[in-house]
């Protein structure tokens, strides 16, 4: 985190405890003061771990740098919106699939750059994806920087987190989804892929690509054409190109017809203050 807007931080034991109890889905991660012996902080850590929230323990000067007031050894870095409940979203996806609809899901694997994630969400909405599913560790959260880059798209798609993405992908594959990875080392050219039916597109992070355990869950992996000497595509650009190819293969029918929604529309517009992770 190089720049932090204090509007994205909840500080202090009472405030963070209330957030853990009422809206844990809004917490991207917790920062606890390294070496603090307060039992209340230990209990807060236990509760956060039970809810799958990332926790970092750092020296007090780092907390002081990010928050100028009294923080009591705990900072909660918050998402601009809560994640959708994957259990509920999955039930709706199953119902839609049974009714003849072919859902399209996006998995940003190990994507740490919030601007890349925001751009992926923006492209996913524009090109007809139904939901985005990510791992709850190691990737960017729904921070204000993500919201700003997504340019309003953050509230227009279901976005879920799970603790075991490999397990969920294998389960989806068993239910008839094709799990298509995207990497420069893919074995199939993107224009030769088969994209009919329920589909999950997996795009790797900026430097790591698709982690091996996630790649093993893929039905197959495609690659994009690239000029000789070129190193790679930006992750969000690569996803946009593959999404275009998926839609082109179906005659862009997904974009022409009304589709079911798997998210709750917000009552008020989302804000996107400055934040970098």
Task: Give tens-digit pLDDT for 30-46.
Answer: 999 998 889 999 999 99
The alpha carbon of residue 224 and the mean position of all alpha carbons in its chain are separated, in whole angstroms, by 23
What pLDDT, on the 0 to 100 scale, is given for residue 138?
A: 65
Please say whether the beta carbons of 185 and 215 come within 8 A.
no
What pLDDT, on the 0 to 100 scale, is given for residue 196?
A: 92
What pLDDT, on the 0 to 100 scale, is given for residue 181?
A: 96
Domain assignment of residue 265, yes or no: no
> Domain check: are 103 and 238 in the same one?
yes
Domain assignment of residue 177, yes or no: yes
pLDDT at 69 over 90: no
Q: Report how far residue 242's alpha carbon sits from residue 237's, in angstroms, rounded to the nearest whole number.
A: 9
DSSP single-letter state for residue 243? H
Please say whether the beta carbons of 36 and 30 come within 8 A.
no
* Residue 181, SS3 per DSSP: strand
pLDDT at 193 over 70: yes
> Domain check: are 58 and 147 in the same one?
no
- What stretches of 79-153 adopt beta strand conformation (E)? 104-108, 131-135
Question: Which domain-ending residue is among 24, 55, 78?
Answer: 78
pLDDT at 276 over 80: no
Domain assignment of residue 172, yes or no: yes
Domain assignment of residue 235, yes or no: yes
Domain that holds residue 137: 86-256
Task: Give tens-digit pLDDT for 150-159.
Answer: 988 988 999 9
What pLDDT, on the 0 to 100 scale, is given for residue 171?
A: 96
Q: Report how far residue 148's alpha carbon sits from residue 80's, in angstroms, rounded to the nearest whole number.
A: 10
Task: Give tens-digit pLDDT for 244-270.
Answer: 999 999 999 999 888 899 987 654 333
Task: Give tens-digit pLDDT for 99-116.
Answer: 999 999 999 998 888 889
Q: Report how far residue 12's alpha carbon sits from residue 71's, in angstroms, rounded to the nearest whole number.
A: 4
Give the end-to-end CA distance of the chain in Å, rounded to a whole number: 4
Please say whether the beta carbons of 100 and 71 come within 8 A.
no
């Amino acid at each position: 985190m190089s720049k932090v807007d204090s509007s994205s931080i909840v500080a202090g034991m009472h405030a963070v405890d209330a957030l853990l109890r009422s809206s844990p889905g809004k917490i991207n991660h917790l920062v606890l003061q390294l070496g603090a012996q307060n039992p209340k902080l230990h209990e807060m850590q236990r509760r956060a771990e039970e809810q799958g929230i990332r926790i970092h323990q750092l020296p007090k000067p780092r907390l002081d740098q990010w928050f100028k007031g009294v923080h009591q050894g705990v900072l909660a870095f918050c998402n601009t919106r809560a994640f959708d409940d994957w259990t509920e979203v999955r039930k709706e996806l199953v119902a839609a699939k049974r009714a003849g609809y072919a859902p399209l899901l996006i998995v940003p694997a190990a994507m740490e750059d919030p601007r890349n994630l925001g751009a992926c969400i923006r492209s996913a909405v524009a090109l007809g994806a139904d939901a985005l599913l990510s791992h709850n560790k190691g990737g960017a959260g729904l921070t204000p920087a993500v919201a700003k880059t997504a340019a309003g798209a953050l509230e227009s798609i279901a976005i879920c987190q799970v603790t075991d993405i490999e397990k969920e992908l294998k389960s989806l594959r068993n239910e008839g989804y094709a799990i298509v990875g995207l990497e420069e080392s893919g074995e199939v050219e993107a224009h030769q892929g088969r994209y009919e039916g329920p589909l999950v597109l997996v795009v790797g992070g900026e430097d790591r690509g698709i982690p091996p355990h996630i790649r093993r869950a893929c039905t197959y992996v495609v690659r994009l054409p690239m000029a000789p000497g070129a190193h790679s595509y930006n992750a969000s650009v690569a996803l946009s190109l593959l999404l275009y190819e998926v839609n082109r293969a179906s005659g862009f029918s997904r974009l022409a017809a009304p589709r079911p929604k798997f998210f709750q529309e917000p009552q008020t517009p989302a804000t996107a203050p400055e934040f970098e992770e």
